[in-house]
A and B are shown apart, each in its own frame.
Chain A
Amino acid sequence: MQRKVKLTCQNVWKLYGAHADGLLKGDTQPNDADLQRTNTIGAVRDASLEIGEGEIYVIMGLSGSGKSTLVRCLSRLIEPTAGKITFDGEDLLAMSPKQLIDLRRTKIGMVFQHFALLPHLTVLQNVSFPLDIQGVDRVTRETRAMEMITTVGLEGRENYFPNQLSGGQQQRVGIARSLVGDPEIWFLDEPFSALDPLIRREMQDEFLRLQSLLKKTIVFITHDFDEAIRLADRIAVMKDGRIEQIATPEQLILHPASDYVAEFTQHIAREKVLSLRSIATPDMTAGEFAGDLSGSLKVAEAADVIEGANAPFRVLDEDGTPIGQVTSEIVIDVLIGRTHR
């Protein structure tokens, strides 16, 4: 599954403090002691990542781990202290203010944790605001904004002011506004964190539905591992400004790179994340199989069938080639969370 690369960053640093610039002169990289000594905060440290086109890339970490700072560096809302960022192969940090404005108007959309709606504008005006400042005429921009409002399910409320809407509705407005310019890349900074758990769930479904229609490149920030698992194609786990691990949800659960990452994965319902492909054992010695199962099935979906049979199942790849077998013992291991036998 090779995707075209949309956005990259290499060795990006963001330091806060009086001596921030001095610490990154030349090739030297400051360590914890350097930062402590100079009273500098390392909000992002030596972050590198590569985001493919059409991918949902989740950046995950606890509060204060530098997620917001990193995503703001990626959109150059914050100037990184050091590092390189490319957008469609172009050097983002070398762009002039004018180029940057053009890029943002046409290619970038962003959703904020606290919605960031303009309080003096109605829903319709808020959603059409990005087009308004580009000088798009009123009829065109309001038609387009109405489309977006309908897409996020807020039709009938276009003349409300933000303070007349619930949190979930306000975030729908934020989403509509970020999509009205039809951006290529879509940044979401903890978009659902300020919402109640039930509404959050509903908004996640909504988000997945939208993405299945729009197929944007997405950078999604969250501190909620469940949310990350649910939405991500790939996850980057951050800790204290550093990226600890970049992996798919399954790999993250099966092979956590550190105890820190493992800590997150412990309370996850593994059977809903892991697919048969990733738990199948390659030996096919059983000789007799109860049947064939697709490798992309999640364990939870196949558990009943596998446990009901008294022989193992054969696991097949997308193109039908067998890749291994699953036994009911393996499924039980996954279900009760046993990792070593």
Chain B
Amino acid sequence: MNALTRFFRAPWTFWIALLLITWALSTWSFPLYKALDARWIIRFPAQLQVPLDVWLTAFFKWLQNDADLFLFTFRDLTRFLSSLIEWPYDQVRALMADGFESGQGSNAVEIAPPLSWIAVIFILIALGRYARDWWLAALVGGCFVYLAVFGQWDSAMVTLSSVIIAVPIGVALGLGIGILTYRSLWFDRLIRPLLDLMQTVPVFAYLVPVLVLFGFGPVAALIATLIYATPPMVRIASLALKSVPTEVVEAGRIVGCTERQMMWRVLVPSAMPTLMVGVNQVIMLTLNMVIIASMIGAGGLGFDVLSALRRLDIGGGIEAGVAIVVMAIALDRLSQAFVRRPPSAILPADLGTLRRHPWLVTTLVVVVVTYLLGLFLPAVQSYPAALTLTTGTFWSDAMEWININYFDTFEAVKSFFLTVLLLPVKRFFSGIPWAWGIIAMGLAAWRVGGWRLGLMAALMTTFIAASGFWAKAMITIYLCGVSVLIAYAIGVPLGIWAGQNTRVNSVVGAIMDTLQTLPSFVYLIPVVMLFRVGDFSAMIAIVLYALAPAVRYAAHGIRSIDPQMIEAGLVSGCTPRQLLWRVKLPLAAPSLLLGLNQTIMLALSMLVITALVGTRDLGQEVYIALTKADTGHGIVAGLCVAFIAIIADRILTALSKSSKQRVEAA
């Protein structure tokens, strides 16, 4: 009797029971439905489904066609917004890629060519030198020389133009909204859940409404990019302003700053290092999104990859993919160098422009000289086509060789994983009846974070079931779950190893840095080439993409343990193994949980992109909606993904909070 009560009291009894019931119901739900002839067990009753998607589609139709905002129509508003972005975009694109023209269409006459490739590379080298040193200058210059030599220049400049337009707008918008959240607590409260949602809704989901409202083309792509890249800047700006030390704010007040002086002379400059981290983020997110947005007309490198993937042109895809990577690395390192740049020494004003701004002056001279020379020497203007190298055939041959020689090996690996791991898990999740799914989710969340969290989780799960996406959502969870499991199983040991060994740490750190720099799109290319389309390919791409936070947080958690704790363990005679399991891991638990949280978020965002390689989850629903321009369908499927992400995030946050309390209480 006593043993029995103890069993029910034990903390893990709840979880075992929950798992067992879920497993039983999942296994028997189909026979049960047959036996009782109750179809509602496995399918959400159609008459109860909420046609939210239909309503949304109708709403967007109305917005686009009939909505009248008194003085102007909604369509005028979208047109106005597009023209606001279109004009500067056209100018930058003309400067970087197309050249300036007068006249329309076939009558167009070129007035001036775009910046010559030499000038662009020189500007980047100058920026690298200015931001840090000659090494960086060489790296950045080298990256862009690569783009020229390997024939990716034109597409790269189109992509770069989008980045050049999107980054300042994104940064300014983010900073502006961040300032508002700093000034008004009320606004901060209002905007926070919105930011949460924007960062968890998969990117494809807002490609759809943007496409519907703004039409296919680079402007729509830029707007989608801004929607994607601005929220993190808002967060960082808000955080940066709030973490300016109170004393500095008070110092500003006591010397008599006005509100405006306070913001622009004290707060923003003091927060600058953190704000620059935000700028780096915006650049990387923009690059990532500009490539995804090639689906709605961004053009450039992303378009090259996309069309190569569609044609299954292995060489072309890899070439463009590598070009994206090269550009991403160059922009990332450059902007990071600006983040870390110490303030420059003040030079006396009477030194003359040349002495004070040697780089600016030289760069201007180079631009003008190459422009003039370019008028006579085409090789100065654009890199001579005859000298470009192509790696396309090399990649194709390499892939072919691998496929011929190792096809069986790859197939064996793939089918092993499929039969042992993927399919059983898929069967388990797909079998869960929706009604129990809601209850189980609610119970789990309640257990971890109290009744509020339980209720929220149950409601969100109900939304998923009621919008008719239950089956797809389960596939999403299965694919995400398996990938996270594997990413975590690889990442945490790696992180622990790196956390205990500085040499390993620098190597692993560098690899993770590079992995995180790559736009998500790029991961698909090699995976598809080697494993064809399907769940397994998707899983590998997700694991690669989501690996970094698992490693990072584990390493960070181990490294930030108070050395005294470890000494205490050593003094009491722990073996290295005991030290790891009994001291380090429990102390690093909050950090490990945070890493898990981040891994899940990245996995979900990648999952949606893997719809391109033929998974059958919510991502695919969004993707289908995109191709059909079905707004409501896309948004609702996107919201489902967001809800899954939010539930996972809240549960893990609650877990990590309680484990943190435990660690700190000790």
> Judging by beta carbons under 8 Å apart, are B256 and A134 in contact?
yes
Stretch at the interface among B141-149, B224-232, B257-265: B257-265
Query: What chain B residues lie within 8 Å of A177 (beta carbons)?
Result: 251, 255
Contacts A120-B343, A159-B345 known; A108 to B254 CB distance under 8 Å?
Answer: yes
Query: What chain A residues lie within 8 Å of B272 (beta carbons)?
Result: 120
Apart from A104-B255, A118-B251, A161-B342, what 14 extra A-B contacts exist at CB < 8 Å? Answer: A77-B250, A77-B254, A101-B256, A103-B256, A104-B254, A110-B254, A116-B245, A116-B247, A116-B248, A116-B251, A118-B270, A120-B270, A129-B265, A132-B265
Q: Mark A100-126, 1 if CB is under 8 A from B, else 0.
A: 011111001110111111111110000
> Judging by beta carbons under 8 Å apart, are B245 and A114 in contact?
yes
> Judging by beta carbons under 8 Å apart, are A105 and B255 in contact?
yes
What class of interface size applies to chain B in its complex with A? 20 to 34
Query: What chain A residues lie within 8 Å of B251 (beta carbons)?
Result: 110, 112, 116-118, 177
Query: What chain A residues lie within 8 Å of B261 (beta carbons)?
Result: 133
What is the minimal beta-carbon distance from A302 to any residue of chain B, in angstroms? 43
Query: What chain B residues lie within 8 Å of A132 (beta carbons)?
Result: 265
Q: How many residues of A contact B (CB 8 A)?
A: 32
> Judging by beta carbons under 8 Å apart, are A181 and B346 in contact?
no
Q: Is B269 interfacial (CB-CB < 8 Å)?
A: yes
> Judging by beta carbons under 8 Å apart, are B247 and A113 in contact?
yes
Q: Which residue of A lies closest to B256 (CB)?
A: A105
> Judging by beta carbons under 8 Å apart, are A114 and B346 in contact?
no
In the assembled complex, the Cα of A94 lies from the Cα of B345 at a distance in Å of 44
> Judging by beta carbons under 8 Å apart, are A129 and B255 in contact?
yes
Contacts A116-B248, A118-B266 known; A161 to B254 CB distance under 8 Å?
Answer: no
Q: Which residue of A lies closest to B255 (CB)?
A: A130
Q: Mark B529-554, 1 if CB is under 8 A from A, else 0.
A: 00000000000000000000000000
Q: Is A65 interfacial (CB-CB < 8 Å)?
A: no
What is the minimal beta-carbon distance from A112 to any residue of chain B, in angstroms? 4
5 CB-based A-B contacts, threshold 8 Å: A104-B256, A114-B245, A120-B269, A120-B270, A177-B251
Most buried by A among B256, B266, B345, B346: B256
Q: Which residue of B lies closest to A76 (CB)?
A: B253
What is the minimal beta-carbon distance from B258 to any residue of chain A, in angstroms? 6
> Judging by beta carbons under 8 Å apart, are A101 and B258 in contact?
yes
What is the minimal beta-carbon distance from B455 to any residue of chain A, in angstroms? 25
In the assembled complex, the Cα of A77 lies from the Cα of B253 at a distance in Å of 7
In the assembled complex, the Cα of A120 lies from the Cα of B270 at a distance in Å of 7
Query: What chain B residues lie within 8 Å of A101 (beta carbons)?
Result: 256-258
Q: Which residue of B lies closest to A100 (CB)?
A: B256
Please list the 6 inter-chain residue pairs (A to B) with the smallest Cβ-Cβ separation, ordered nearest first.
Answer: A105-B256, A130-B255, A116-B247, A116-B251, A104-B256, A110-B254
Give which listed residue, B247, B248, B255, B342, contacts A133 with CB less than 8 A: B255
Q: Which residue of B lies closest to A126 (CB)?
A: B251
Give which listed residue, A109, A130, A161, contacts B343 with CB less than 8 A: A161
* A141-189 interface with B by 8 A CB criterion: 159, 161, 177, 181, 187
Q: Is A72 interfacial (CB-CB < 8 Å)?
A: yes
Q: Is A294 interfacial (CB-CB < 8 Å)?
A: no
Q: Is A275 interfacial (CB-CB < 8 Å)?
A: no
Q: Which residue of B lies closest to A164 (CB)?
A: B342
Query: What chain A residues lie within 8 Å of B256 (beta carbons)?
Result: 101-105, 130, 133-134
Query: What chain B residues lie within 8 Å of A133 (beta carbons)?
Result: 255-258, 261, 265
> Judging by beta carbons under 8 Å apart, are B346 and A75 in contact?
no
In the assembled complex, the Cα of A186 lies from the Cα of B250 at a distance in Å of 14
What is the minimal beta-carbon distance from B254 to any residue of chain A, in angstroms? 4
In the assembled complex, the Cα of A109 lies from the Cα of B253 at a distance in Å of 11
Query: What chain B residues lie within 8 Å of A105 (beta carbons)?
Result: 255-256
* A84-106 interface with B by 8 A CB criterion: 101-105
Q: Mark A65-81, 1 if CB is under 8 A from B, else 0.
A: 00000001001010000
In the assembled complex, the Cα of A326 lies from the Cα of B243 at a distance in Å of 59
* B367-398 interface with A by 8 A CB criterion: none
Query: What chain A residues lie within 8 Å of B269 (beta carbons)?
Result: 118-121
In the assembled complex, the Cα of A112 lies from the Cα of B254 at a distance in Å of 11
Query: What chain A residues lie within 8 Å of B265 (beta carbons)?
Result: 129, 132-133
What is the minimal beta-carbon distance from B437 to any residue of chain A, in angstroms? 40
Q: Which residue of A lies closest to B254 (CB)?
A: A110
> Judging by beta carbons under 8 Å apart, are A116 and B250 in contact?
yes
In the assembled complex, the Cα of A152 lies from the Cα of B220 at a distance in Å of 59
> Judging by beta carbons under 8 Å apart, are B346 and A159 in contact?
yes
Q: Which residue of A lies closest to B251 (CB)?
A: A116
> Judging by beta carbons under 8 Å apart, are B250 and A72 in contact?
yes
Query: What chain A residues lie within 8 Å of B345 (beta carbons)?
Result: 159
What is the minimal beta-carbon distance from A18 to any residue of chain B, in angstroms? 14
Query: What chain B residues lie within 8 Å of A110 (beta carbons)?
Result: 250-251, 254
Q: Which residue of A lies closest to B248 (CB)?
A: A116
Query: What chain A residues lie within 8 Å of B254 (beta carbons)?
Result: 75, 77, 104, 108-110, 187
* A17-48 interface with B by 8 A CB criterion: none
Query: What chain B residues lie within 8 Å of A102 (beta carbons)?
Result: 256
Q: Which residue of A lies closest to B253 (CB)?
A: A77
Q: Which residue of B lies closest to A132 (CB)?
A: B265
What is the minimal beta-carbon distance from A63 to any residue of chain B, in angstroms? 16
In the assembled complex, the Cα of A108 lies from the Cα of B250 at a distance in Å of 12
Q: Which residue of B lies closest to A101 (CB)?
A: B256
Query: What chain A residues lie within 8 Å of B255 (beta carbons)?
Result: 104-105, 129-130, 133, 177, 181
In the assembled complex, the Cα of A108 lies from the Cα of B255 at a distance in Å of 8
In the assembled complex, the Cα of A167 lies from the Cα of B239 at a distance in Å of 27
Query: What chain B residues lie within 8 Å of A122 (beta carbons)?
Result: 346
In the assembled complex, the Cα of A115 lies from the Cα of B251 at a distance in Å of 9
Q: Which residue of B lies closest to A115 (CB)?
A: B247
> Judging by beta carbons under 8 Å apart, are B266 and A114 in contact?
no
In the assembled complex, the Cα of A161 lies from the Cα of B346 at a distance in Å of 10
> Judging by beta carbons under 8 Å apart, are A104 and B253 in contact?
yes
What is the minimal beta-carbon distance from A43 to any residue of chain B, in angstroms? 14
Q: Mark B231-251, 1 if CB is under 8 A from A, else 0.
A: 000000000000001011011
What is the minimal beta-carbon distance from A77 to any residue of chain B, in angstroms? 5
Most buried by A among B255, B257, B265, B266: B255
Contacts A75-B254, A77-B254, A105-B256 known; A112 to B247 CB distance under 8 Å?
Answer: yes
Query: What chain B residues lie within 8 Å of A181 (beta carbons)?
Result: 255
What is the minimal beta-carbon distance from B177 to any residue of chain A, in angstroms? 23
In the assembled complex, the Cα of A75 lies from the Cα of B255 at a distance in Å of 11
Query: What chain A residues lie within 8 Å of B257 (beta carbons)?
Result: 101, 133
In the assembled complex, the Cα of A129 lies from the Cα of B257 at a distance in Å of 10
What is the minimal beta-carbon distance from A283 to any residue of chain B, in angstroms? 53
What is the minimal beta-carbon distance from B139 to any residue of chain A, in angstroms? 27
Q: Which residue of B lies closest to A78 (CB)?
A: B250
What is the minimal beta-carbon distance from B248 to any residue of chain A, in angstroms? 5
In the assembled complex, the Cα of A117 lies from the Cα of B250 at a distance in Å of 11
What is the minimal beta-carbon distance from A177 to any residue of chain B, in angstroms? 8
* B248-292 interface with A by 8 A CB criterion: 248, 250-251, 253-258, 261, 265-266, 269-270, 272
In the assembled complex, the Cα of A11 lies from the Cα of B257 at a distance in Å of 29
In the assembled complex, the Cα of A161 lies from the Cα of B247 at a distance in Å of 18
